[in-house]
Amino acid sequence: MGVQNWTYILVGVTFALYISIAIWSRAGSTKEFYVAGSGVSPLANGMATAADWMSAASFISMAGIISFAGYDGAVYLMGWTGGYVLLALLLAPYLRKFGKFTVPDFIGERYYSDIARIVGVLCALLVSFTYVAGQMRGVGLVFSRFLEVDINTGVIIGMLIVLFYAVLGGMKGITYTQVAQYCVLIFAFMVPAIFISIQMTGNPIPQLGFGSQMADGSGAYLLDKLDGLSTDLGFAEYTEGSKSVTDVFAITLALMVGTAGLPHVIVRFFTVKRVKDARKSAGIALLLIVILYSTAPAVAVFARTNMIETVSRQPYSSVPEWFKKWETTGLIVFDDKNEDGIINYVADVSKNELVVDNDIMVLANPEIARLPDWIVALVAAGALAAALSTAAGLLLVISSSISHDLIKKIINPNISENGELIAARISAIVAVCVAGYFGINPPGFVAATVALAFGLAAASFFPAIILGIFYKRMNKEGAIAGMVVGITLMMLYMIKYRLGWFDEVLPGKDQWWFGISPEGFGSVAMLVNFVVSIIISKLTPAPPGEVQEIVENIRIPQGSGPASPH
């Protein structure tokens, strides 16, 4: 059987599994739809959280970025991993104790204001739609290559699958589907990594293999060889960075604090019974996430080395079949500038004849390494699991923000539970359609798009949540002003430096503010948010006494007595 047949089988089996789980665990109430009835075990929630967290950006794009950016690409690894630790330790238990279904719900109740709730809903929608665009593009990439349909058709197929189990099962269905998706994606990521590690270094542990000597008897270390291959082609050494320290710090910080403000990850901690279960599931999820994140740098090195050796300076007439297949997707482009029939892949843009999209490196890696067809198809199934699991979580955030935070809490407080459930499902359908549009017309490659979503979360939610938990004096005026200023600033920066608007009135890319790229600007917008929030709260009346008491009590461990009045 060929790759395509294996892909049909494995993708078909996994999709059937997801749909069966959704039917078995369909939601029958709003509590089941929003937070799975708050009855999920710590182990299941940890696996679901890991799948929700490890999106297409983690599975497909992170190793791809590291493959091409080398040391510079490590900012995504550091930022996303550190961000999850920050979320698990600093925010999750307190938010769980507060007891609200969604982040906008927390914002609305903590800041005793419908306006604050509406601002929270708008921020959640912006973050979630930006994030989901990356996931849908990842789905389209996989379908376009392995099922040989165009990217737009692939996105539509992904939309229909997510729509089915997200609308039918809500958080309950999504949770147990994500447990299965974690198993699929981690198996699909690790199997080829182990095979290629043995193939290239003789070491079955990828985390050790990419720092080991080559298995070809040369005695050279793999990273040294890749440094040499890179410099021979005019690129910087793979293990050396070119980004400024300021930009590296800003991107890492934006990804970290953006993680702590992501509504689709935060809501996972409301699905367990007790606060201590939220802590347990956070720890379990971190261990499960580390498996993939510690392997990604090795996969990046394996893929980059194999690609250079297989393609660079080779006759185009003798390129392997995988190269031709990816060419049809438009994600590999060969332009024979000097018409010699040789693929010149070099750093000099005027002479370079090969353009490779970052997002194909993980997907093409098994093919480049000539692994069996079933492993190639397995990676496709794993990439779809990663993209769909996160897309489902994001769509639920969008749905609950509209049905619960907007309709139930503001527009129609007397709506019945059944009416709210119907509104949630209709909202999910609309959200899937919008997500599909952004998947077909994304603002960048997967990881860059996702990084912008983290910047939006950092600029809007993180200060409001952290101050809402740890600063009793924080009031509604400060929170609203901070969120509006923060997300507006981040949006303007994205529009200018990602979409190219306002070129006539603002400086170009070579004049980024403070030398910080759009992916890192969320850290600047976040600091502005903090400053505005605190200053405005100092100049306006303190929050009511009962709100301050709630803030005091959510920081006190259960069983330790009431909060002190002082």
Is residue 279 within 8 Å of residue 63, measured between CB atoms? Answer: no
Closest CA to 456 of 498, 501, 424, 422: 498
* Number of neighbours of residue 559 by Cβ within 10 angstroms: 5
Burial of 120 (0-12, 13-18, 19+ CB in 10 A): buried
pLDDT at res. 24: 77
> Residue 124: what are its φ and ψ, rounded to 5°?
-60, -40
Mean pLDDT of the 202-213 span: 90
Q: Is 561 a residue whose pLDDT tops 50?
A: no
Q: What is the rounded distance in angstroms from the CA atom of residue 385 to the CA atom of residue 366?
A: 18
pLDDT in tens, 455-464: 888 899 899 9
pLDDT at res. 559: 45
Mean pLDDT of the 455-481 span: 91
pLDDT at res. 295: 93
Q: What is the rounded distance in angstroms from the CA atom of residue 331 to the CA atom of residue 129?
A: 24
Is residue 358 within 8 Å of residue 68, measured between CB atoms? Answer: yes
Q: What is the rounded distance in angstroms from the CA atom of residue 163 to the CA atom of residue 149?
A: 20
The least confident of 261-275, 395-409, 511-525 is 261-275
pLDDT at res. 563: 44
Q: What is the rounded distance in angstroms from the CA atom of residue 421 to the CA atom of residue 106?
A: 20
- Report the mean per-residue pLDDT for the chain: 82
Sketch out the chain's domains with CATH numbers. Answer: 3-308+369-411+418-455 (1.20.1730.10)
pLDDT at res. 204: 93
Confidence of residue 449 (pLDDT cuts 50, 70, 90): low
Q: What is the rounded distance in angstroms from the CA atom of residue 431 to the CA atom of residue 355?
A: 34
pLDDT at res. 187: 92
Single pTM value for the model: 0.82
Q: Is 285 a residue whose pLDDT tops 60?
A: yes
Q: Is 562 a residue whose pLDDT tops 60?
A: no
Q: Is 415 a residue whose pLDDT tops 60?
A: yes
pLDDT in tens, 102-122: 778 888 889 988 899 999 888
Q: Is 95 a residue whose pLDDT tops 80?
A: no
Q: Which residue has the tokens 């209709």?
A: 426
Confidence of residue 538 (pLDDT cuts 50, 70, 90): very high
Confidence of residue 193 (pLDDT cuts 50, 70, 90): very high
pLDDT in tens, 364-382: 889 988 899 899 889 888 8
